[in-house]
Structure 1
Amino acid sequence: MVVDLHPHTGEESQIRILYHNLLSAWNKRSAADMAHLFSEDANMIGFDGSHLMGQEEIGKHLATIFFHHPTGSFVNIVRNVRFIAPEVAVLNAVAGMIPPGKTDILPELTAIQTLVSVKDDDHWRISIFQNTPAAFHGRPEEIDKLALELRREMRESFRSEKSAQGF
């Protein structure tokens, strides 16, 4: 369930859409769709610390994950998007994971996500994506706070989806 409820304009919207497409591809378990969003020389650092280099390696790694493991669905909140150059943007977000067959996120699977995107030939591509566990060592209240925030976003997104469908 990846929904952006806040309208944005121009280039920032394109970065948010790129991130939305990344998480949507994960939620659909589509390694090909995910890999296609990365630049040829991209880097991805996974939740478990895996460091992958290049679009092809990223795609193969994701295909292996989807083949061998049941994966949950992401719920996210974009914290900010900032441009560090006209054709380079950084998106910071938090995300929670809803395990397969469940309806709630697991706080221990929350993450801080950073996406660096580069514009190439009028198309934004992911150059770096890092998915870091939100462990908050020694601060369990921070984990609870983040989980509560993600749950609120999840409920709001669900309400918005139902409202848009006429329910």
Structure 2
Amino acid sequence: MPTNTDDQLADLVRSYENAFNTNNARAMNDLFADEPVFVNFGGNLVRDKQALHRAQSFVFAPGGPLERISVSYTIENITHLAPDLAAVHARQRTRQDGADGQVAGEDPMAAILLLVAQRTNGEWRIRVGQNTPVT
């Protein structure tokens, strides 16, 4: 049964999706805790919020690898680890124009996004994340 906490975590994922699809590195970076750890789609480990912002800015910049990519996230699981700590698994897919909004055939952006979110001062922030390609 979904909880208010689940709704807040779903909002966090929607905000992440919106930042991705609008190429807004600042908005995406603001979703992270002060000392995040993130493994990106390419397997690179980033341990610092400023370094993460540099990486996000690069991929979303004009000519960057994600500039023209749009994705959707579907939450598949939320695990409550503690009252203010949760793991969210969301399936990432490429968004396309069409009846179902999904890419036909093999999806080059298919992945499982894991976000470990921590609530501090009433705000959920991503503390640890990993974007694992699905092959």
TM-score interval, normalised by the smaller of the two chains: 0.7 to 0.9
Contact 2:93 2:102 in 1 (8 A): no
Task: Say whether 1:52 aligns with 2:46.
Answer: yes
Task: Say whether 1:41 aligns with 2:38.
Answer: no
Q: What's the secondary structure of 2:108's corresponding residue?
A: helix
Provide closer, same or farther for how the CA distance between residues 104 and 92 of structure 1 changes in structure 2, counting only shifts above 3 A.
closer
Contact 2:13 2:73 in 1 (8 A): no
Larger radius of gyration: 1
For 2:91, which of 89, 94, 99 is the aligned residue? 94
Q: 1:147 corresponds to which residue?
A: none
Identity of aligned residues (%): 23
Residue 104 (structure 1) shift: 4.4
Separation in 1, partners of 2:68, 2:80: 32
Letter in 2 for 1:92: H
Separation in 1, partners of 2:36, 2:122: 17
Separation in 2, partners of 1:94, 1:28: 19
Q: What's the secondary structure of 2:73's corresponding residue?
A: strand
Q: How does 1:1-150 map to 2 (within 5 A)?
A: 8-67=2-61, 68-69=63-64, 70-98=67-95, 104-105=102-103, 106-135=106-135
Q: Which runs of 5+ in 1 are unaligned?
A: 1-7, 136-167
Residue 65 (structure 1) shift: 1.1
- Higher mean C-alpha deviation, range 33-42 or range 69-78: 69-78
Letter in 2 for 1:29: N
Letter in 2 for 1:32: R
Separation in 2, partners of 1:66, 1:95: 17
More helix as a share of residues: 1
Residue 98 (structure 1) shift: 3.5
Taking structure 1 as the reference length, the TM-score comes to 0.70
Runs ≥4 residues deviating over 4 A: 101-104
Taking structure 2 as the reference length, the TM-score comes to 0.85
Separation in 1, partners of 2:41, 2:127: 17
Provide closer, same or farther for how the CA distance between residues 35 and 24 of structure 1 changes in structure 2, counting only shifts above 3 A.
same
**Total equivalences in the alignment:** 128
Separation in 1, partners of 2:122, 2:102: 38
Q: What's the secondary structure of 1:107's corresponding residue?
A: coil
Residue 76 (structure 1) shift: 2.1
C-alpha deviations, 1:94-119, integer Å up to 9, x for none?
111237x8964252320011110001
